[in-house]
Amino acid sequence: MLPTTLKKLGAAAVLAAALAAPASAAVLVQQRPADGGPGFLSANSVGYQNGDTFVLGGDSELQGIAWWGTEAGPDGFVVRLFDSLAGGAAPLVTYLGAVNRELADPAIHDDGQNPLYRYWIDGLSFSLAGGITYLLSVGNEDVEWFWQTGLPNGSSQWRGDDGDDWTEDAFDLAFAIDGQRTPVNPVPEPGVLALLGVAGLAAALAGRRRKATA
């Protein structure tokens, strides 16, 4: 039989693990690729910077970003997130590493009948505020890459250089933002409450045994 101290440590470890278990990412924003729609050449170094804006309904943790476009390798992408459309604004997030990629739905293509690919990065952890207009910018410096237009058919942003203001342009761009909404008043989940109850019961029983043997 385990000593009472080890029992308490075991219960505490289980409880701590339950409290620390991360929630899986959910799709916070998504603009699906438009089948047969045009794409926009996106390469920062040659003066073709494209981006699209989004607003979150509440404070959230950014955990992943996805986007759709023509074929490219896993390297060469420059992914940036801004909280201002003004020229010269520094990005909140800049990602220059290798990205994940896969062939998207084979039934959808761009306006040249080229297959579309889905690209994504995950494992991020950045706090974003609700009600703020953010801008996602994606470009590729290795190949001539086109960012696919998205649904619904709204508008996006473009500029030639980092010092220029972003300017509204036609068509949405295809992208998705993954993460978790930050709760205003975190409430323990039912499973955590059950563990608390078990831990309390175990402590009460241990106290009774000590009194009985005293």
pLDDT digits (tens, 9 = 90+) for 24-43: 789 999 999 999 999 999 99
Give the Cα separation of 50 and 40 in Å (integer). Answer: 8
| pLDDT at residue 197, rounded to an integer | 54
What DSSP assignment string belongs to 99-119?
-EEEE--TT-B-TT--B-EEE
**Site of tokens 């990205």:** 99
Rounded average pLDDT over 117-140:
97
Q: What is the mean pLDDT of the chain?
A: 83
pLDDT over 80 (residue 194)? no
pLDDT over 80 (residue 187)? no
Q: Is 206 left (phi over 0), alpha (psi -120 to 50) or beta?
A: alpha
Lowest mean pLDDT among 5-14, 116-125, 172-181: 5-14
Rounded average pLDDT over 120-134:
97
**Paired tokens of 8:** 């308490």
pLDDT tens for residues 67-105?
999 999 999 999 999 999 999 999 999 999 999 999 999
Lowest mean pLDDT among 123-137, 140-154, 180-194: 180-194
Q: Which has more confidence, 192 or 26?
A: 26
**Paired tokens of 34:** 């438009």
Half-sphere exposure of 145 (CA within 13 A, CB side): 28
| pLDDT at residue 114, rounded to an integer | 96
Among 128, 74, 78, 133, smallest CA distance to 102 is for: 74
Give the Cα separation of 37 and 156 in Å (integer). Answer: 14
| pLDDT at residue 44, rounded to an integer | 85
pLDDT over 60 (residue 209)? no
**Paired tokens of 75:** 């390297």
Which uninterrupted H or E stretch holds 1? none
**Paired tokens of 201:** 């019961």
Give the Cα separation of 123 and 140 in Å (integer). Answer: 21
Q: Which has more confidence, 186 or 41?
A: 41
| pLDDT at residue 24, rounded to an integer | 73
Q: For residue 74, give every residue at least 6 positions away whose Cβ sits within 8 Å of its Cβ, in sequence order, or none.
A: 98, 99, 100, 101
Lowest mean pLDDT among 53-57, 109-113, 181-185: 181-185
CA 91, 167, 156, 55 torsion-angle sign: positive
pLDDT over 80 (residue 5)? no
Rounded average pLDDT over 3-22:
41
Among 96, 112, 93, 82, smallest CA distance to 45 is for: 96
Q: Which has more confidence, 188 or 68?
A: 68
Q: Which has more confidence, 8 or 194?
A: 194
Q: Is 76 left (phi over 0), alpha (psi -120 to 50) or beta?
A: left
